């Protein structure tokens, strides 16, 4: 990659992480001020979302879980319509009916946000089967947590995808927590990716706080899936530095563990790396941060001023 392309790629990855952070912190602040309902954030995990999603092509599909704002924003979702959805407004992507936990954006190929932990796994296998039967070259990316990986549905989904050669990139965001339970209480191994071998599938663990490492690992995995049409398990090893949901005082968290991961913040680390290498200037990074702040101010204003759905809308867009 030449210097100019490297700079462009670095700017895009940095911008994406900063946007996700600013969006989620604004949503959490609004919740604390009583201006928004509860929400789940992925603060601390931004490198995983930005790194993987930026490696996908526009015709690839995404299925995700309750911590989905980062995946959607990295995919190019409009922050105003996202914020409106979180606030339950009619201008939101799902007309205010999904809230934070079920957002899907068909035009961006984000098929599903599942709040049933692990639900995205079997549905991604099904979407992989559909893509395969249609003869499409699309790849299906499925984001799930370490908690979901401890459910039976993980085994069924990966086993069938492997047996049927389905083009699915399973991305386990191992953020050390499963709601209020530390993963050490539910699994003895530190990593999820070695489980791939038992399905005859490739599996790799990457430092989920290093956005370039995640992006490179995802590119390699996606290229392999396109070539072989076989599934791949990518584990991004990271940490959720805010609570399970908002509000959450995190009294159950070991303060030393939390501090050690905060010291490895993916955005601050990337900034340091880019400045040390001279890839992007401090002024350039500051400009990106200012632009993002303006975008989020605009998004919040748009969402706040938008109307709630009309009462007559209550029974539309539902199956039964
Ligand atoms: C089937 C099911 N069981 C339990 C829950 C309650 N729940 C919501 S999130 C969560 C923890 C999920 O942990 P993990 O898969 O690691 O994802 P993370 O929240 O860490 O991103 C639980 C138990 C649920 N939503 N669905
Ligand atoms: Mg987890």
* CA gap 104, 267 in Å, rounded: 26
- If you count DSSP H runs as helices and E runs as strands, how many of each does the chain have, helices first? 10, 8
Contact of 147 with 183, CB cutoff 8 Å: yes
Is 37 a domain residue?
yes
pLDDT at residue 317, rounded to an integer: 87
The pLDDT, as a whole number, for residue 137 is 95
- Tens digit of each residue's pLDDT (9 = 90 or more) over 27-75: 999 999 998 888 999 999 999 999 999 999 999 999 999 999 999 999 9
Q: Which of 46, 117, 122, 171 to mutate to test the pocket of ligand 1 (most atoms within 8 A of CB)?
A: 117
**In this predicted model, what pLDDT tens digit does every residue of 109-145 receive, in sequence order?**
999 999 999 999 999 999 999 999 999 999 999 999 9
Centre of ligand 1 to C-alpha 80, Å, is: 27
Atom index in ligand 1 nearest the CA of residue 244 equals: 19
CATH of residue 298's domain is 3.40.50.970
Can you list the pairs that 34-38 forms with residues at least 24 positions away whose Cβ atoms lie under 8 Å? 35/87, 35/304, 36/86, 36/87, 37/86, 37/87, 37/88, 37/99, 37/100, 38/100, 38/245, 38/246, 38/247
Identify the nearest ligand to the CA of 65 by its number.
1
pTM score, two decimals? 0.98
Report if residue 311 sits inside a domain. Answer: no
* Ligand 1 close to Cβ of residue 116 (< 6 A): yes
Residue 95 belongs to a domain: yes
In a domain, 40, yes or no: yes
**Domains: count for the chain:** 1
State if residue 145 touches ligand 1 by the CB under 6 angstroms criterion.
yes
Q: Is the CB of 71 under 6 A from ligand 1?
A: no
Taking each helix axis from N to C terminus, what angle separates 3-32 and 79-86, rounded to the nearest 10 degrees?
A: 20
Q: Name the β-bridge partners of 61.
A: 140
**Helix H or strand E segment including 150:** none
CA angle 159, 165, 166 (to 5 degrees): 85
Which domain range does residue 263 map to?
3-305
**Two tokens, residue 172:** 């386990």
């Amino acid at each position: 990659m030449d210097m100019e392309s490297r700079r462009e790629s670095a700017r895009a990855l940095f911008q994406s992480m900063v946007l996700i952070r600013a969006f989620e912190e604004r949503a959490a602040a609004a919740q604390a001020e009583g201006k928004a309902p509860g929400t789940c954030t992925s603060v601390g995990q931004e490198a995983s979302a930005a790194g993987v999603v930026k490696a996908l092509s526009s015709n690839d599909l995404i299925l995700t879980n309750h911590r989905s704002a980062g995946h959607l924003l990295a995919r190019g979702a409009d922050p105003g319509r996202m914020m409106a959805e979180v606030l339950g407004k009619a201008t939101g992507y799902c007309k205010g009916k999904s809230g934070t936990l079920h957002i899907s954006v068909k035009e961006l190929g984000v098929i599903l946000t599942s709040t049933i932990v692990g639900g995205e796994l079997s549905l991604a296998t099904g979407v992989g089967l559909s893509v395969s039967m249609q003869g499409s070259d699309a790849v299906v990316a499925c984001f799930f947590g370490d908690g979901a990986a401890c459910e039976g549905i993980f085994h069924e989904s990966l086993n069938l995808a492997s047996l049927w050669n389905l083009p699915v990139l399973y991305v386990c965001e191992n953020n050390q927590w499963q709601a209020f339970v530390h993963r050490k209480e539910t699994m003895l191994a530190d990593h999820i990716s070695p489980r791939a071998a038992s399905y005859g599938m490739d599996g790799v663990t990457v430092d989920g706080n290093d956005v370039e490492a995640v992006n490179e690992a995802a590119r390699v995995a996606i290229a392999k899936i396109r070539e072989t049409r076989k599934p791949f398990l990518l584990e991004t090893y990271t940490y959720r530095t805010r609570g399970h949901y908002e509000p959450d005082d995190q009294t159950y968290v070991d303060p030393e563990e939390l501090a050690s991961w905060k010291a490895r913040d993916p955005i601050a680390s990337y900034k340091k790396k880019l400045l040390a290498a001279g890839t992007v200037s401090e002024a350039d990074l500051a400009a990106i941060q200012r632009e993002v702040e303006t975008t989020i101010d605009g998004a919040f204003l748009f969402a706040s001023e938008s109307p709630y759905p009309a009462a007559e809308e209550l029974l539309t867009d539902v199956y039964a």
